[in-house]
Structure 1
Amino acid sequence: MALAWIASYPKSGNTWARILLASYLRDRQVELRMAQLGRGRLDDAVPDLVNVLRTGTMLPVAQPRPLAVKTHFLPGRNIHDPYRDATTKVIYLVRNPRDVIPSAERMLNVSPDRRTAYAKHFIDNRGVVPWQRMGFGLWTESVLEWTTPERLHQYFPNTELLVLRYEDIKRDTAGSLYKMIDFLGFDSELDSDRVQRAVDNSALDKMRDAERRDDSLRHRDRNPFFGQGLSDQSLAGYGEDIEDAYRRLLREDEEFGSLAGQYGYAN
């Protein structure tokens, strides 16, 4: 069986890609319980490695059909060790750090009086340090380790790589889903109508509506998981110095600036 990782730095479109793929495989809208995002029907189609660990089980690598699994962990983390030989595909999703910053802020429930300090923390460290400690790496680590073939093949020697930008998935969701399905080998012949149904069933406004309607969340003090999916946002709203600090990072940090430029995020 071909095991594939759907990998990304957090808040780069991984969950959306997972829902798109699950909607295609099931050919209907995936039922979501946002308080337990990923468990149940979504995990049946495209599992989340974290949820697999929580159940104390192993991924079913012996099954005949290709299996796509979500991960945010760096490829070298030992959480992937049981699956190195079975891994034959990696889809890595990359997103402009400008947009990861506010999206992560929303998910982390940063208080209004800490917003500027949070944005400065992200810029100073090239990502969120607690996520690095969890094994996700910083933004630069995640992108380099997953998208540099020589590095990736140290951990998964039999794998092929497809890199997709979040912005391109948003711009052409059907075309991007087609690429993912074709790359993963889910079907020998792709049904364009089925692809479009999956896109329609996984639209971000439907995901936001599912979150609003979830009774289990109505009395919880949390920000929504699904935002507006904005792109190329200014950071000036965090304070007059934050946009300037980010631009200095692009200019002065060779590694960060080079990676950002490689994927069209140089401004």
Structure 2
Amino acid sequence: MSLAWLSSYPKSGNTWVRIMLQNYLEDRPLETDEPVQWRGGGSKISAVADIADLSSESGLSWPSHQAVPPTLKTHFLPGVEVHRPYRETTSKVLYIVRDPRDVIHSAERHLDVSPKHRAAFARHFIAHHGFEGWRRTGWGSWVENVSEWVNPERHFPNAQVCVVRYEDMKSDAVGSLSRIVTFLEWDDRVDGARVERAVRNSELDRLREQQRQANEPGKGRNLFFGQGLSGQSLADYGEDVEESYLRLLDEDSTFADVAKRWGYSN
């Protein structure tokens, strides 16, 4: 049985894509508490199970009841131990990439960094090319995660790769989801009306309201889903922070090459 990975660096839109796929698969508005139970076993998003849940002590059973090819979500770098059993059976990699400047904003909000430490967090992220806590978890830096997943043949020699930019999902969610469903081979012919319904039921405003109604931990600023903005400057952390990012693009060719490839060098 072949499988696909839905992978990304954290705060790049992975959960949003999972929910869109869940909505597409079930073709109905999910109940209030369904799409937001990502903590403690995200079994409610069963269309794309999380490898961290499947590999935990109280992990989830494989969603074998599904009529679509299995897809697993991960933030880990492709070469970590937990991925190795799937080396030969992996046939597809769907990777979501997002502007690291927007990742910084989203991560800072998600991690509930205090206002007085916001600028320090942004500087830390730029200096380490990502959040060091996530690197120690096995997710790598932003540039490592992107580079290794868009070229995963060393770890998954049989995999086809499809890269979707977060910004393109924002500007054309219907087109992006159609492309994703086609790549994953969930349908012989993508149902455009069904895609539109899935996108409508997965709008970020709707997801934030669902989380508020479900009384999940973390309210207001710390809701899992933010506004999902794109093209944000780092100047609100301090002029020196934006300048540090631009200097990184000038002085680090590895980071600059990856950022430029995906349109994040301006």
Aligned to 2:115: 112
Query: Unpaired segments of 5 or more residues in structure 2?
Result: none
Amino acid at match of 2:241: I
Q: 1:78 aligns with which of 81, 84, 92?
A: 81
| Residue 184 (1) aligns with residue 181 (2) | no
Query: Unpaired segments of 5 or more residues in structure 1?
Result: none
SS in 1 for 2:24: helix
Aligned to 2:254: 255
Q: 1:50 aligns with which of 45, 49, 52?
A: 52
Aligned to 1:146: 149
After TM superposition, the structure 1 stretch with the greater mean CA deviation from structure 2, 64-73 or 82-91, is 64-73
| RMSD value, Cα | 2.0
How far the C-alpha of 1:49 sits from its partner, in A, is 1.2
Identity of aligned residues (%): 50
TM-score after normalising by structure 2:
0.93
How far the C-alpha of 1:113 sits from its partner, in A, is 1.0
After TM superposition, the structure 1 stretch with the greater mean CA deviation from structure 2, 256-265 or 44-53, is 44-53
**Hey, what's the Cα distance between the residues in 1 that align with 2:13 and 2:145?**
14
SS in 2 for 1:217: coil
Q: How many residue pairs get matched? A: 262
**Hey, what's the Cα distance between the residues in 2 that align with 1:167 and 1:221?**
24
Q: Report 1:1-267 matches (<5 A).
A: 1-31=1-31, 32=34, 34=36, 36-37=38-39, 39-42=42-45, 44-54=46-56, 55-56=58-59, 59=62, 65-148=68-151, 152-217=152-217, 223-267=222-266
How far the C-alpha of 1:29 sits from its partner, in A, is 2.4
How far the C-alpha of 1:101 sits from its partner, in A, is 0.3
- Write out per-residue CA displacement over residues 153-193 of structure 1, whole angstroms, 9 at most, x where no aligned residue: 11111110000100001110000000000000001121111
How far the C-alpha of 1:58 sits from its partner, in A, is 6.1
How far the C-alpha of 1:57 sits from its partner, in A, is 5.2
How far the C-alpha of 1:222 sits from its partner, in A, is 6.6
- Write out per-residue CA displacement over residues 36-85 of structure 1, whole angstroms, 9 at most, x where no aligned residue: 4562331x221111122233456467987401111000000011112112
After TM superposition, the structure 1 stretch with the greater mean CA deviation from structure 2, 203-212 or 23-32, is 23-32
Q: Is the 8 A contact 1:33 1:214 kept in 2?
A: no
**Hey, what's the Cα distance between the residues in 2 that align with 1:196 and 1:202?**
10
